[in-house]
Structure 1
Amino acid sequence: MGKVITLLKLLPRLHQIILSILVVITLMVVFLPSDDAQASRSTNSALSGSVTFSDEGKAIIPNAQAYPVPLAFRTPEPPSAAEIAQDASKANQVDLTQTALSSPAIDNEEDTVEAAEHKEQFIVRSGDTLAALFKRAGLSARDVYEITQLPKAKKNLLKIMPGEEIEIVKNEAGELTKVHYHLDPISTLIISKQSSGYSEAVETKQVESRTKFAAATISSNFWNAGVSAGLTPNQIMQLATIFGWDIDFALDLRQGDNFAILFEEEYADGEFLRNGNILAAEFINQGDKYTAVRYKDGSYYSAEGRSMRKAFLRSPVDFKYVSSSFNPRRLHPVTGQVKAHRGVDYVAAVGTPIKAAGKGRVIKSGYNQYNGNYVFIKHNETYTTKYLHLKKRKVKQGQTVKQGQVIGTLGSTGRVTGAHLHYEFIVNGVHRNPRTVKLPQSLPIDKKEKQQFLALSQQLMTKLEQQQQVQLAAQ
């Protein structure tokens, strides 16, 4: 060491200063700790013995990611929007996982409650009352009393009919929880029991309307043609009623006549409920074409807007055949003398309803030995109709009647050889043939509705024509 100092003294003054600075720098490098070593010591302290050190003094963290800058010396930065979204997603996943882990017990509990409910159908028997049916279901008289205090239940359940079904729902303890009663195909009365008492509600299915096409050609008779087209008896009668002012379905039809219709079908929850209204129809009778379109007012009009309803029905009874036509020089079947037959005799079963041919006032309703039970109706200053040989009269003198209203039933009272209706049609005091007289038209569709009706008519009649062409091509 002494030799080193002597040697330094021999050096020039400038060299001595430079060498001293170098020595000081060297000592600082040797004795001051590095950043890596400081970071290692900090990490070592934080991990409490879970870290080992390399030969260079660096910390070795098992399964840890290496960072270029030690975490202890990093300046925290705000997270980016992507990182926030990612963290939120992870948090939601955790929440859903926790919910999924805890919810099965709740779901299972609900399933258990539903599974514990017992449903049973009870058919109303002949002579059954609600009390008798509930007793058969194992319910108490108090249940009957409390349920019948509800307005809808009282109105409907006290009038149950044989063949109807009532569904009783009980809980695991055998206590009543619900009663289901079908009011009609789409409405169900539901009575529920809670701790506070009974409540009621009507559940209604959503009804869907579909349009269907049917057509047929008459080969034997109109009824058979309707059946072959898949129409129900009600639809066949409805079709006859629509065209009944223009076509005599007992006498005017011929082989080769044909018809086509569009009608509604109603469905609820995909299941067929019933047939609806006829929307449009076409009837070819002896070469003449008749059309009918149903408008929103419920009335039928021709495709051009003329009312299908006349002021009078062509015939006031659904008859089988005409036994005697209008004939001014007919021989009377009882007396054998020439006596004008000033009406038409329609034969039908005894008790068949007789309908008023038009709106009017009953001017006579009585009985005599010739006419039997009879009814005369004055419609206005021009028209009067007479109905003879009725079994029963259902209207009184002075009463106002509507077109189609039942005024009596067909019979054989008075001077007759068999059951029939004798029907007379009088115009300005003169008897006219009811089968051929020109009937006055009802009012056409209102002018304000004309354009809207014509648009509907064109749409329906075009669809009807297209369906007929499709059917013809398929034959």
Structure 2
Amino acid sequence: MTDENRGAHSARKQAVRRKAQRRHSHFYDSRAHWSFSRNASSEPLSWSRERWILAGTAFLLVILSALVIPAWAGAMKSSSVAPAPGIAAKTTVATAVAASIDPLDHAIVPLALPKMDPATIKPIVPVEEWQTVQVHPGETLADIFLAQGLSMTDLQHVIDGSGGTKVFHQIKPGQEFQFLVGGDHTLKGVRFDQDEATIATLRLDGASPQLTTKTRDVQRREHISHGVIDSSLFGAASKAGMSNAMVLKLAEVFKFDIDFVQDLRVGDDFTVIYDDVYSDGSYLREGDIVAAEFVNQGKRYTAYRFKNADGKWSYFSEEGRPLTGSFLRIPVDFTRISSQFSAGRMHPILGTMRAHKGVDYAAPTGTPIHAAGDGVVKFRGWMNGYGNFVVIQHNATISTAYGHMSRFANLRVGQRVSQGNTIGFVGMTGLATGPHLHYEFRVNNVQRDPQTVTLPKPEPLPAAQLAKFKKEVVAPQLARLNQVDNNTKLARADTASRSDD
């Protein structure tokens, strides 16, 4: 029974194997060289053994090369090293043999180094760390010194040692100071700008203060801008590359000829030659207008900067006419007119009808009062009814008077003043109910209404100065302005022709 079961089981296994071979015949055909039989040939193992032998041989060659080559290189290097005294003879023989074998002759030659003279050796100067401080709005010099851990005594030493410079008496926002403070918090030095062209260094670490100055390289770089007004003056100037500050300077130059609030029109154009100031190659500030041309409603105005015989820079037209009014119509920044010029009014204090032979401009106490024109101080002092009073004689026939000042500026009788100079400050001295300036315009000592009087035109340059002005200023600058105008016209014509095409 058992034999029958074994036979049946063997038959089933054979049947399954044949069925699997038929189903996977492709797999068995592709792997027919494989053999898992114990009696299989050992030929594949002999190929594997050959490969192992070849790999071992290559590995041994690599190991031998790694050991032999460095040893040979070390032997070659040691042959060039000087021998010890005990084996000098052997080394000489070996060197001779090596020389006969090696065609290259190697030798070590000592070099003689130059001797250093201790007297010529300069000691290394330690680098000083200067701290730069910039003045902020509202800061005082005392605030700056205290912020650096310094005392008021240090400040006084700086002021005393600076030689009476005005730099420390009136500081401005943006101004810079440099401090050198030692490790023990003592002030060793201060560096500051005396002016645009000079930087000063005050050393306090010696027996006495030492003040030295250094001249800077100050340059003026010119620019030329041209613009056409299409909406506003500031917009046109911005397109031309000008700053707002330079636009304000342009308006200031032409303020007596052009009303920049009401007279400007679309299509007005301008050409400006101006400069910027650079110190040691760095931008310092905006400069001045050198020459300018402004066409307003078809009328051409020009301005040229020129230093007259008095050494004062002013602007003149091409004909040599000063671009300033001979007199300021209003010599103070006022808030309102508190009393007009009249032949009779009720006096606010005396209560009687009296002529008011001037114009009262109300302004806060302390507002600066300016000279209406160039002239000489004729009177400075107290005048009944007018309080602190100043009279300026401008020429043989015209004078101006200023009353109710709170105080005078640094002024004396006989002193020459220029238009715009501060001569005093608004107050309410004398018979006054509030702070204001009482201003009079006198012709042959007769008061005229300052608001309606015909002001004389400024006198042109004298003949000698006029010739110099036209030759040295107008001729070269006018050529540059005309060149810009011509280039602009050509560009406009080219643009128009392209648009027509």
- Give the structure-2-normalised TM-score: 0.51
Q: Residue 414 and residue 153 in structure 1: after superposition, are their counterparts in 2 closer, same or farther (change >3 A)?
A: closer
Cα distance in 2 for residues equivalent to 1:215 and 1:469: 12
- Counterpart pick for 1:303 among 307, 314, 318: 318
* Superposed counterparts of 1:413-432, under 5 Å: 419-432=435-448
Q: Does 1:232 align with 2:245?
A: yes
Q: Does 1:275 align with 2:293?
A: no
* Residue matched to 1:212: 223
Listed one character per residue, the Cα deviations across residues 140-193 of structure 1 (whole Å, up to 9, x for unaligned) are: x9xx9xxx89x97666799698985435499xx99x9x9561335653345789
* Residue matched to 2:377: 361
Cα distance in 2 for residues equivalent to 1:345 and 1:224: 38
Q: Residue 316 and residue 157 in structure 1: after superposition, are their counterparts in 2 closer, same or farther (change >3 A)?
A: closer
SS at structure 1 position matched to 2:243: coil
Given that 1:304 and 1:454 are in contact with CA atoms closer than 8 Å, whether structure 2 keeps it comes out as no
SS at structure 1 position matched to 2:220: strand
Given that 2:365 and 2:425 are in contact with CA atoms closer than 8 Å, whether structure 1 keeps it comes out as yes
- Counterpart pick for 2:263 among 254, 259, 263: 254
Cα distance in 1 for residues equivalent to 2:237 and 2:429: 35
- Counterpart pick for 1:409 among 422, 425, 435: 425
Deviation at 1:409, TM superposition (A): 1.7
* Residue matched to 2:276: 265
Cα distance in 2 for residues equivalent to 1:431 and 1:384: 9
Cα distance in 1 for residues equivalent to 2:128 and 2:214: 20
Cα distance in 1 for residues equivalent to 2:161 and 2:334: 43
Identical-residue share of aligned pairs (%): 28
Listed one character per residue, the Cα deviations across residues 210-263 of structure 1 (whole Å, up to 9, x for unaligned) are: 123467889999999999952339x83x6566556x35979x853438765432
Deviation at 1:437, TM superposition (A): 1.1
Q: Residue 432 and residue 395 in structure 1: after superposition, are their counterparts in 2 closer, same or farther (change >3 A)?
A: farther
Cα distance in 1 for residues equivalent to 2:231 and 2:402: 31
Listed one character per residue, the Cα deviations across residues 72-97 of structure 1 (whole Å, up to 9, x for unaligned) are: xxxxxxxxxxxxxxxxxxxxxxxxxx
Given that 2:380 and 2:388 are in contact with CA atoms closer than 8 Å, whether structure 1 keeps it comes out as no
Q: Residue 299 and residue 157 in structure 1: after superposition, are their counterparts in 2 closer, same or farther (change >3 A)?
A: closer
Q: Residue 313 and residue 202 in structure 1: after superposition, are their counterparts in 2 closer, same or farther (change >3 A)?
A: same
Given that 1:253 and 1:286 are in contact with CA atoms closer than 8 Å, whether structure 2 keeps it comes out as no
Deviation at 1:273, TM superposition (A): 0.6
Q: Residue 391 and residue 196 in structure 1: after superposition, are their counterparts in 2 closer, same or farther (change >3 A)?
A: closer
* Residue matched to 2:400: 385
Cα distance in 2 for residues equivalent to 1:103 and 1:158: 52
Given that 1:263 and 1:278 are in contact with CA atoms closer than 8 Å, whether structure 2 keeps it comes out as yes
Cα distance in 1 for residues equivalent to 2:353 and 2:298: 38
SS at structure 2 position matched to 1:295: strand
Deviation at 1:265, TM superposition (A): 0.8
SS at structure 2 position matched to 1:463: helix
* Residue matched to 1:166: 178
Cα distance in 2 for residues equivalent to 1:203 and 1:456: 32
Q: Residue 102 and residue 208 in structure 1: after superposition, are their counterparts in 2 closer, same or farther (change >3 A)?
A: farther
Q: Does 1:183 align with 2:193?
A: yes
Given that 1:310 and 1:441 are in contact with CA atoms closer than 8 Å, whether structure 2 keeps it comes out as yes
2:322 partner letter: S
Given that 1:363 and 1:378 are in contact with CA atoms closer than 8 Å, whether structure 2 keeps it comes out as no
Q: Residue 456 and residue 202 in structure 1: after superposition, are their counterparts in 2 closer, same or farther (change >3 A)?
A: same
Listed one character per residue, the Cα deviations across residues 315-351 of structure 1 (whole Å, up to 9, x for unaligned) are: 322446666665x568669699997664444454442
Given that 1:410 and 1:420 are in contact with CA atoms closer than 8 Å, whether structure 2 keeps it comes out as yes
SS at structure 2 position matched to 1:266: strand
Cα distance in 2 for residues equivalent to 1:195 and 1:413: 53
Cα distance in 2 for residues equivalent to 1:195 and 1:364: 49
Given that 1:364 and 1:377 are in contact with CA atoms closer than 8 Å, whether structure 2 keeps it comes out as no
Given that 2:291 and 2:477 are in contact with CA atoms closer than 8 Å, whether structure 1 keeps it comes out as yes
Deviation at 1:266, TM superposition (A): 0.9
Given that 1:189 and 1:203 are in contact with CA atoms closer than 8 Å, whether structure 2 keeps it comes out as yes
* Superposed counterparts of 1:6-25, under 5 Å: none
Cα distance in 2 for residues equivalent to 1:398 and 1:329: 31
SS at structure 2 position matched to 1:457: helix
Q: Residue 432 and residue 288 in structure 1: after superposition, are their counterparts in 2 closer, same or farther (change >3 A)?
A: farther
* Superposed counterparts of 1:451-470, under 5 Å: 451=468, 453-464=470-481
Given that 2:234 and 2:244 are in contact with CA atoms closer than 8 Å, whether structure 1 keeps it comes out as no
Deviation at 1:120, TM superposition (A): 4.6
Q: Residue 429 and residue 152 in structure 1: after superposition, are their counterparts in 2 closer, same or farther (change >3 A)?
A: closer
Given that 2:199 and 2:213 are in contact with CA atoms closer than 8 Å, whether structure 1 keeps it comes out as yes
1:427 partner letter: V
SS at structure 2 position matched to 1:211: strand
Deviation at 1:445, TM superposition (A): 4.3
Given that 1:191 and 1:201 are in contact with CA atoms closer than 8 Å, whether structure 2 keeps it comes out as yes
Q: Residue 206 and residue 331 in structure 1: after superposition, are their counterparts in 2 closer, same or farther (change >3 A)?
A: same
Q: Residue 412 and residue 133 in structure 1: after superposition, are their counterparts in 2 closer, same or farther (change >3 A)?
A: closer
* Superposed counterparts of 1:3-402, under 5 Å: 113=124, 117=127, 119-121=129-131, 126=143, 128=145, 133=150, 165-168=177-180, 181-184=191-194, 187-190=198-201, 201-213=212-224, 230-232=243-245, 236=248, 242-243=253-254, 246-247=256-257, 253-256=262-265, 261-282=272-293, 289-297=300-308, 298-309=313-324, 311-319=326-334, 342-358=357-373, 359-363=375-379, 365-369=381-385, 371-394=386-409, 398-402=413-417
Q: Residue 242 and residue 269 in structure 1: after superposition, are their counterparts in 2 closer, same or farther (change >3 A)?
A: same
Q: Residue 221 and residue 445 in structure 1: after superposition, are their counterparts in 2 closer, same or farther (change >3 A)?
A: farther
SS at structure 2 position matched to 1:459: helix
Given that 1:260 and 1:283 are in contact with CA atoms closer than 8 Å, whether structure 2 keeps it comes out as yes
Deviation at 1:388, TM superposition (A): 3.3
1:254 partner letter: D
Cα distance in 2 for residues equivalent to 1:396 and 1:167: 38
Given that 2:193 and 2:199 are in contact with CA atoms closer than 8 Å, whether structure 1 keeps it comes out as yes
Q: Residue 194 and residue 428 in structure 1: after superposition, are their counterparts in 2 closer, same or farther (change >3 A)?
A: closer
1:308 partner letter: L
Q: What is the total number of aligned residue pairs between the two structures? A: 363
Given that 1:180 and 1:188 are in contact with CA atoms closer than 8 Å, whether structure 2 keeps it comes out as no
Cα distance in 1 for residues equivalent to 2:473 and 2:422: 34
SS at structure 2 position matched to 1:232: helix
Cα distance in 1 for residues equivalent to 2:362 and 2:339: 9
Given that 1:122 and 1:133 are in contact with CA atoms closer than 8 Å, whether structure 2 keeps it comes out as no
